[in-house]
Amino acid sequence: MSEVDRVEIDVRPMLAAGGEPFGAIMAAVRTLTPGQGLVLVAPFKPAPLLKVMDEKGFTADVVQSGPEEWRVTFTPRSLRQPDPADPLDWPEPARYLDLKEETDEALAGIVLEELAAMASGEVLYVAFRGPVDLVAAPVRTAGHRPYGIEQGEGVQMMILRSRQ
């Protein structure tokens, strides 16, 4: 994406004057044409805005270019080059396993067997009970990629990508 494909907004003067820049930033976002990005210059890392822009379909490249200067380049996700190492770019799971009733001893074997039967790069979603490393460690050792571990009510959920 070239500089002409981006709109730049510097909110430092607005903040220095005691203003709230969120409205101006969202107004700038509304003016973007399809495929156009936004460069935000701010005196701090705008962490809450990163989530808002992610939900609007933008990725963020955050660079601190000075003691009170942060430059954030927001790029429409559709223009971002896919990164096979980034779970956000993984395909939807091809298979789902509910192993919540399996014993700890059986978990890794079942998951590895399932991954071995999958095509290279396919994604497996697994729900299970027990320590995360019961599945994550053997999966990594076998060359597959675990990601997306969540813990809730004793249930672990993991997204696994078969080795490529």
Give me the residue spans of the domains in the chain: 3-79, 87-161
Average pLDDT over the chain, rounded to an integer: 85
* Region of residue 125 (left: phi > 0; alpha: psi -120 to 50; beta: else): beta
| Element at 17 (helix H, strand E) | none
pLDDT-based confidence at residue 1 (cuts at 50, 70, 90): very low
Q: Which residue has the higher pLDDT, 91 or 25?
A: 25
- What integer pLDDT is reported at residue 151 of this predicted model? 58
Please state which CATH class domain 87-161 belongs to. alpha beta
| Fold classified for 3-79 | Rossmann fold (3.40.50)
User: Token digits for 156?
Assistant: 């672990």
pLDDT at 95 over 80: yes
- Highest average pLDDT, of 6-10, 51-55, 56-60, 99-103, comes from 6-10
What's the pTM? 0.51
| Nearby residues of 143 by Cβ (< 8 Å), 6 or more positions away | 163
Q: For residue 123, what are the β-bridge partners?
A: 161
pLDDT at 160 over 90: no
User: Token digits for 154?
Assistant: 């004793």
Give me the phi and psi of 47, to 5 degrees please: -50, -50
Q: Which residue has the higher pLDDT, 9 or 147?
A: 9
pLDDT at 57 over 80: yes
Using CA atoms in the order 153, 52, 13, 31, what is the torsion angle rounded to 10 degrees? 180
